[in-house]
Amino acid sequence: MALRIDPWGHTTIKEYEKLFQYFGIKPFKELLPQIDKPHKYMTRGIIFGHRDFDKFWKLYKEGARVAVLTGFMPSGRFHLGHKMVVEQLVYYQRLGIDVYVAIADAEAYSVRKIPREETIRIGVEEYIANMIALGLDPDKTVFYFQTKQDPRYYRLIQMFSRKVTFNELEAIYGELEPAKIMAALTQVADVTYLTHRDLGGYEMLLIPVGADQDPHLRLARDIVDRYSRELGLKPPASTYHRFMTGLDGGKMSSSRPDSAIFLTDSIEEARRKVFRALTGGRATIEEQRKLGGIPEQCTVFELYAYHLIEDDRELEKIYNDCKSGRLLCGECKRRAAKLLEEFLRKHQKRLEKAREKAREIAEEVAPEF
Ligand code: TRP
Ligand code: SF4
């Protein structure tokens, strides 16, 4: 049976290793020795795979013009899963690499059917504002809405349509509708237009995304191949990170508020979610003392690994204490809740200022209707 990833679906990817076999995504850990100061997601195996990251990195080190670009669908509240991507952008920006962020308002409108004004409001108030509050430098970042792009970007989308067949798209995406085809081709423009000599002229782009976005990147690479002579676009490099599990054990999603911690959750709400979260603990205290917990299957451990603990040794200690039965879930959750509270308090303070800045930016970049 063919394995297919649905970028608009609600399925969780359980076996990341399969993506290596089926789709030719390469394991990221082999590249670690080349990276001087890797991000914690790299050392912890959270960024698990890539396409052409080695080429991108080599160009970056040689001083070639490269940039990082990613995109967000403005369809709901900003949560810890989104924060994962922003952390990576901040990391690359601090290395001196240009950063671009697409607000995928066209996709949110046509595929997710979010009202137009909502996509714009959410794009500014939730996405751009939270990204700035998380440390993305507003003066060094290019934010753009898909529907307010340069006409030449739209021209690319029109031209791409000539180079793909319906069968090919169906093989990648499964069941299709015009809105999804448009969204896919629009995303191909996002991940390629900056390599056009008149639209940015970058040697290469790196696209950090969750693994569910790989179908779009495969399509982009195919289209670029077919156009290499005609348009001079270059294939994107990409990295893939694991998703955080929803706190309730399913997929983390804005549509199920208890599955996610939103960056605007009140301290009370956030605490409640942590205390209710699914852990890798045993049924009774005695059992846990004897057998130890299972941090590999614990959403609280994920909170530590993805967000709350910077120091690898400290994280390892929690892991070992859990495994050995020394640490029990109650105590562990209290510590996570406290760290989360500290983060949210700081973040929400920064967010007030960031909102003002986001509105300023919006005057230039937000669509008028
Ligand atoms: N499809 C992405 C999502 O669902 C959003 C997106 C649009 C994107 N354009 C992009 C992501 C370019 C990465 C690069 O979230
Ligand atoms: Fe998870 Fe902590 Fe319980 Fe271990 S002790 S299972 S890491 S909550």
What local confidence, expressed as pLDDT, does residue 53 receive? 98
The residue out of 242, 271, 298 marking a domain boundary is 242
8 A C-beta contact, residue 126 and residue 77: yes
Residue 209 backbone dihedrals phi, psi, to 5 degrees: -145, 170
Q: Where does a domain end: 208, 242, 276?
A: 242
Could you tell me if 272 and 305 lie in one domain?
A: yes
CA separation for the pair 308, 324 (Å, rounded)? 21
* Tokens representing residue 320 in the block: 């070992």
List, in sequence order, every beta strand (DSSP E) within the chain: 26-27, 47-51, 66-72, 98-103, 141-145, 204-210, 237-241
For residue 137, pLDDT beyond 60: yes
Quote the CA–CA distance of 180 and 197 in Å, as a whole number: 28
Q: Decide if 251 contacts 259 (C-beta within 8 A).
A: yes
pLDDT score of 1: 47
Is residue 210 located within the same domain as residue 271?
A: no
Structural domains counted in the chain: 2
CATH code: domain of residue 276: 1.10.240.10
Let me know if residue 10 belongs to a domain.
Answer: no
| Rounded Cα–Cα distance for residues 186 and 181 (Å) | 8
Whether 39 and 171 share a structural domain: yes
- Lookup result for tokens 């896919």: 184
Could you tell me which of 86, 5, 21, 50 has the C-alpha nearest to residue 237? 50
- 184 and 91 in one domain? yes
Count CA within 13 A, CB hemisphere, residue 134: 24
Is 42:32 a contact under the CB 8 Å cutoff?
yes
Helix (H) / strand (E) element for 357: namely helix 329-365
Question: Is the C-beta atom of 104 inside 6 A of ligand 1?
Answer: yes
User: Would 288 be classed as within a structural domain?
Assistant: yes
Which three-class secondary structure state does DSSP give residue 365?
helix
Distance CA 272, CA 269 (A): 5
Ligand nearest the Cα atom of residue 276: 2
pLDDT, tens digit, 9 for 90 and up, residues 304-346:
999 999 999 999 999 999 999 999 999 999 999 999 999 999 9
- Closest Cα to atom 8, ligand 2: which residue? 329
- Give the per-residue pLDDT at 15: 81
Q: Which residue has the CA at smallest separation from atom 11 of ligand 1? A: 71
Same domain, 182 and 281: no
116 and 213 housed in the same domain: yes
- The structure's pTM equals 0.96
Look at strands 26-27 and 47-51 and give their pairing: antiparallel
For residue 296, the enclosing domain spans 257-351
What mean pLDDT is predicted for residues 144-157?
A: 97
> So what's the pLDDT on residue 11?
62
- pLDDT score of 231: 86
Pick the closest to residue 107 from 206, 268, 194, 216 (CA basis). 216
Q: Candidates 144, 147, 209, 241: which one to mutate for ligand 1, based on the most atoms within 8 Å of Cβ?
A: 209
Probe target for ligand 2 pocket from 294, 327, 339, 340, with the most ligand atoms within 8 Å of CB: 327
Q: 226 with 278, same domain?
A: no
Answer yes or no: do 275 and 235 share one domain: no
Give dist(CA 27, CA 50) in Å, integer: 6
DSSP state of 13: P
Q: Are 100 and 321 in contact (CB under 8 A)?
A: no
The reply to whether 86 and 228 lie within a common domain is yes
- Asked whether residue 16 is assigned to any structural domain, the reply reads no
The answer to whether position 128 is within a domain reads: yes
Q: Are residues 153 and 230 in the same domain?
A: yes
Domain of 132, CATH number, reads 3.40.50.620
Percent helix / strand / coil, the chain, rounded to 5: 55, 10, 30
Report whether pLDDT(195) > 90: yes
pLDDT for the residue 271: 98
Domain boundary among 216, 242, 268: 242
* pLDDT over threshold 70, residue 229: no
Average pLDDT over residues 107-133: 98
Is residue 325 located within the same domain as residue 215? no
Q: Are residues 291 and 199 in the same domain?
A: no
Rounded average pLDDT over 10-31: 85
pLDDT confidence tier of residue 66, bands split at 50, 70 and 90: very high
Q: What value does the mean pLDDT of the chain take?
A: 95
What span, in angstroms and rounded, lies between the C-alpha atoms of 244 and 80? 8
Ligand 2 pocket, mutate which of 287, 308, 315, 329 (most atoms under 8 A from CB): 329
Is residue 9 situated within a structural domain? no
Least confident of 18-32, 138-152, 180-194: 18-32
Q: Look at residue 83 and tell me if it is in a domain.
A: yes
> Does the structure show a pLDDT above 80 at 277?
yes
Domain membership flag for residue 247: no
Is 6 inside any structural domain? Answer: no
pLDDT recorded at residue 255: 87
- Average pLDDT score over residue span 170-196: 96
